Amino acid sequence: MMSEGSLAFNPEFDPDGAEGGVDTNLLPWLPLSGISGLSVKPLRASMESGMFNMIVRLEKGAVLNRLLSLSGMDLLVLSGALDYADDSGESHLEPGIWGYLSANTCMERLTAAEESELLINCYGAFAMLTPGNQVDRLVTSADIRQMALQAGISMVPNTLAECMVEREPYTGEGVPLAIAGKNSGHLVASVTTASADTFQHPYFIDCRAVPWVVNPDLPDIGLKVLRVSQETGFISVMVRHNGVAAPHNHIGGSDFLVLEGALGVRAGPPEGYGPGTWFYEPSGARHDATQRVSDDDLIYTANIYGPLTFDTGPGTPVVAVLSWMEYVALAEAGGAKLVPNTFTNDSSLLAWAPIGQ
């Protein structure tokens, strides 16, 4: 049942999640100073946790050398083509490739073979290192927040209380994503079509090779489970959502990007929210009727930062809890190979940039 504290945030039991969303197709590309050929659409930046979310565009020929992920990051290639190189060799990243770089992982080189767009979720700051292992550029949530403020962009809020406050829309000229308006485009085909597991890299996985698994308690929802952290409880998944989700509460937050179809919520437009719409559902959010509102499959990529509790309606007892343990069981039952949370060749920050040198 809802506690008195929950009632204070949401007295009518009616958060719809829409306040925590943004149509990224209406946002501009903002150049990130100090990194040539890279621009971003800033989505969310937390001054409390240091996490930030953004869509990144790399111009054709742009190269990122020696990017050090200080707190971990995950990414999904949305369009284009990139070449990733490190000590284990070179890999070609196409739309539908998803990856996780754990804390203190140094990405030696990422080259854009074509103009490319990626969804990147940073769990903290990242640094660009010089060939001499010195920090050349540090990018934090404060940097991303400041970029958005200067451009007149009201980013997606971080808390349930902030979500209840109406945000000013961006009034400038936006640039659509490459996936905008495409329900059968390159990315959707990649994530919905099974193929042989030919892509091999410890940091990345080809979503085409990940099987759809179904929780018997939620038969209309298929999952491609990509990563499960037993330490933090964080989950990364692809979701095929073709029914109405049972009423549920978010114990932790979650974020997701619509890739195909249209997502409908009670207070949203009748046509729903289509490809390129990004949501952040803060801890404490409740949803009673999230559903598909088009004939196409509703597919989105999501990070879930804590358990979900399910009930049969406002004020009713909890009937089920979905935590990282259930996702592990689903992945194992479906034969999915999860991306590791740590890697044998990880190095600490001091190993990359020793103090005093």
> Per the structure block, which two tokens stand in for 124?
């903290």
Cα–Cα dist 236/305, whole Å: 9
Quick one: average pLDDT of 35-63?
A: 98
Is the entire prediction scored with pTM above 0.85? yes
- pLDDT tens digits, 60-112: 999 999 999 999 999 999 999 999 988 777 899 999 999 999 998 889 999 99
- pLDDT tens digits, 191-247: 555 454 555 678 899 888 888 898 777 788 899 999 999 999 999 999 998 888 888
Q: Kindly report the average pLDDT of the chain as a whole number.
A: 85
Pick the most confident of 45-54, 177-186, 207-216: 45-54
Strand order in the sheet with 82-86: 89-93, 82-86, 105-112, 63-69, 126-129, 135-139
- pLDDT tens digits, 247-285: 888 999 999 999 988 888 766 777 888 899 999 999 988
pLDDT at 5: 39
Instruction: Assign residue 312 a region (left: φ > 0; alpha: ψ between -120 and 50; beta: otherwise).
Output: alpha
Question: Looking up tokens 């958060």, which residue turns up?
Answer: 15
Structural domain boundaries in the chain? 4-21+182-334, 27-176
Angle at 245 between CA 243 and CA 251, to 5 degrees: 160
Cα–Cα dist 1/178, whole Å: 43
Coil vs helix vs strand at 143: helix
pLDDT at 247: 85
Cα–Cα dist 54/232, whole Å: 21
Pick the most confident of 51-55, 183-187, 285-289: 51-55
Listed in sequence order, the residues at least 6 apart from 296 whose beta carbon sits closer than 8 Å to its beta carbon are 183, 260, 261, 262
Cα–Cα dist 148/156, whole Å: 11
Quick one: average pLDDT of 321-349?
A: 84
Side chain identity at 137, as an amino acid letter? R
Residue 146 reports pLDDT greater than 50: yes
Listed in sequence order, the residues at least 6 apart from 98 whose beta carbon sits closer than 8 Å to its beta carbon are 74, 75, 76, 77, 204, 205, 207, 226, 236, 301, 339
Residue 37 reports pLDDT greater than 60: yes
Residue 356 reports pLDDT greater than 60: no
pLDDT at 216: 79
Q: State which H helix or E strand residue 9 sits in.
A: helix 4-9
Q: Do domains 4-21+182-334 and 27-176 have the same CATH topology?
A: yes
Q: State which H helix or E strand residue 239 sits in.
A: strand 235-241
- The CATH classification number of 27-176 equals 2.60.120.10
What does the DSSP 8-state code read for residue 196? Answer: -
Pick the most confident of 15-24, 165-174, 183-192, 206-215: 165-174
- pLDDT tens digits, 287-325: 877 788 888 888 999 999 999 999 888 889 999 999 999
Give the residue from 31, 7, 49 showing the smallest Cα distance to 280: 49
Quick one: average pLDDT of 172-199?
A: 64
pLDDT at 15: 45
Other beta carbons within 10 Å of 45? 25
Coil vs helix vs strand at 49: coil
- The CATH classification number of 4-21+182-334 equals 2.60.120.10
Work out the burial of residue 55: count CB atoms within 10 Å of its CB; fewer than 13 is exposed, 13-18 middle, 19 or more buried: buried
- Could you give the C-alpha distances from 207 to 125, 174, 193, 283, in angstroms and in order? 26, 29, 9, 28
Quick one: average pLDDT of 27-43?
A: 97
pLDDT at 353: 56
* CA dihedral (184, 187, 192, 197) positive or negative: positive
Confidence of residue 176 (pLDDT cuts 50, 70, 90): very high
> Per the structure block, which two tokens stand in for 224?
């491609």
Rounded to a whole number of angstroms, the distance between the first and last alpha carbons of the chain is 56
Cα–Cα dist 203/180, whole Å: 27
pLDDT at 241: 87
Cα–Cα dist 91/96, whole Å: 14
Cα–Cα dist 259/205, whole Å: 18
Cα–Cα dist 160/281, whole Å: 8
